[in-house]
Structure 1
Amino acid sequence: MKVEMTSDWELIALRSWSYIAAPRPTKEKSRYHPAVDAKRLLTIRQGNDANGGKTAGEAREELRKMGLKRAVDFFLAVVASVILLAPILIVALCVRLTSPGPILYWSKRVGRFNQIFLMPKFRSMRVDTPTVATHLLENPDRFLTPIGSFLRKSSLDELPQLWCILKGKMSFVGPRPALYNQDDLIELRTAHGVDTLLPGLTGWAQINGRDELPIPEKVKFDVEYLERRSFDFDMRILFLTAEKVIRRKGIRH
């Protein structure tokens, strides 16, 4: 039995342990039908939920935290965009002058609730590069532009994703968005409720291994973030990310 989400906002309990406020997808493309099994829709009561879910008060607290996270994301994205405007323009000019093709590379990524969105990066690969994850290429170095290696090692290629954070498609911290054709990663994340999170510019899995992690290991860290997520934990991840970028530790090109 399938139950359609008919209201603009519904409280959905996924696997009875993760409440989120879910706007019904309208204009965005979706990999999956926006329906959920009836058994995954739990009744919210003022007392303890009969199915083991959260109470209405706990759900409201979850919504408050989500609103705070979004406000912090937007504020930090505005500040970062202003501070980094000059470097962004310089990198854009360098990409234009050193390699034929567009300045930005837009890839189809999977966002919250498995909605497809376009994620920009400064282009670090030639325009004839096969459309697969870089770490799956037999010899990715031969597809790099003259400044591509530097952009990747310094993570400067990620700066355009501030636009996605401003639009609310991404967060500063969350699971890194999967490519639209990474079915094994997408399905495993969905099975564990990770698809309820906004994808992030950085994440707990990034801190613990980046692309070299096997998919089950990566999802394990995503689930750990889902269970531990808080303002303090996000700040810790951002600090550790900055440290790794400065030291260029665990960053592949």
Structure 2
Amino acid sequence: MYREHVKPILDIFFACFLVILFLPTFIIIAFLLKITTQDSVIYQQQRIGKNGQEFNIYKFRSMTGDAPILVGAERAAIRKKVTKVGRFLRNTSLDELPQLFNVLQGDMSLIGPRPVVADEQKLLDLRRESGVDSLMPGITGLAQINGRKKLTDEQKAEFDAEYAREVSLFCDLSIIFKTIPVIIVREGVQKLFKKH
């Protein structure tokens, strides 16, 4: 009952609340991006969602418009394409804020397995085998609070499968509360305040 009926209602309620709460932040970021880049403020990319359906995920633009789409270890090759404002947005995860509108559109949930691009076929296959692809993808999830990008595809799939088995209000609240300190203490954020 929670997964099918209560969770979608809570997603809409809290997404609306967070959009209103972060509205000044949205405006400031959009302004900074507008004056520092010639590209669009919002970046859209096709991701794989529930039951293998594709949808456009929204992010604040953090790279130049000519940056290629790379996955896994190859991502390191496009670091030079990340703008100064984009680096700050990525380090603080503020580039993910527009995904609240994905939640309002019904493409995503606040909590769930992170949506990936079609090229990440290995992870998608592992998710399909364990039934994870029947879940709505999330802004944050169990894998994000347990290693994020440092995890292998197998480890991510294992955390995703664990979440699929344990979906509940308690589980979702636990992930939300654990996401905040993970963002704060992650290496990227620490570098912002490190004295040189």
Give the Cα–Cα distance (whole angstroms) in 1 for the partners of residues 77 and 164 of structure 2: 34
Code of the residue aligned with 2:138 in structure 1: it is G
* Equivalence map 1:44-55=2 (5 Å): none
Which structure 2 residues correspond to residues 80-229 of structure 1 after superposition, within 5 A? Answer: 80-133=18-71, 135-229=73-167
Q: What residue identity is the alignment partner of 1:185?
A: L
| 1:131 to partner: Cα distance | 1.4
Contact between 2:59 and 2:99, CA under 8 Å: does it hold in 1?
yes
Aligned length: 191
Structure 1 residue 250 displacement after superposition: 7.2
CA deviation map 1:34-83 (0-9, x unaligned):
xxxxxxxxxxxxxxxxxxxxxxxxxxxx3x54210011010000110111
| Structure 2 contact 3–167 (Cα < 8 Å) conserved | no
CA contact (8 A) 2:63 2:83 kept: yes
Q: If you compute each CA radius of gyration, which structure gives the higher value, 1 or 2?
A: 1
d(CA) in 2 for partners of 1:190, 1:252: 36
Cα separation, partners in 2 of 1:132 and 1:172, compared to 1, 3 Å: same
The answer for the alignment partner of 1:231 in structure 2 is 169
The separation in 2 between residues aligned to 1:156 and 1:135, in whole angstroms, is: 22
SS of residue matched to 1:102? coil
CA distance in 1 between counterparts of 2:107 and 2:160 reads: 18
Letter in 2 for 1:197: L
Secondary structure at the aligned position of 2:55 is classed as: strand
Displaced runs of 4+ in structure 1, greater than 4 A?
Answer: 249-253
User: Taking every aligned residue pair, what percent have the same amino acid on both sides?
Assistant: 38
**CA–CA separation in structure 2 for the residues paired with 1:252 and 1:107:** 28
Structure with the bigger percentage of helix: 2
What letter matches 1:231 in structure 2? L
Q: Distance in 2 between matches of 1:171 and 1:155?
A: 17
Q: What is the alpha-carbon distance in structure 1 between the residues aligned to residue 179 and residue 78 of structure 2?
A: 24
Indicate the structure whose relative CO is greater, using CA pairs within 8 Å and at least 6 residues apart: 2
Q: Is the 8 Å Cα contact of residues 99 and 146 (structure 1) preserved in structure 2?
A: no
5+ residue gaps, structure 2 = 192-196
| Contact 2:49–2:137 (Cα < 8 Å) also in 1 | yes
The 3-state SS of whatever aligns with 1:73 is helix
Q: 1:133 to 1:97 in 2, by over 3 A?
A: farther
Q: What are the ranges of 5 or more consecutive residues in structure 1 without an aligned counterpart?
A: 1-61
Q: Distance in 2 between matches of 1:165 and 1:101?
A: 24
Going by fraction, where is strand more abundant, 1 or 2?
Answer: 1
Q: Which amino acid aligns with 2:37?
A: S
Contact 1:210 1:250 in 2 (8 A): no
Q: Distance in 2 between matches of 1:122 and 1:217?
A: 28
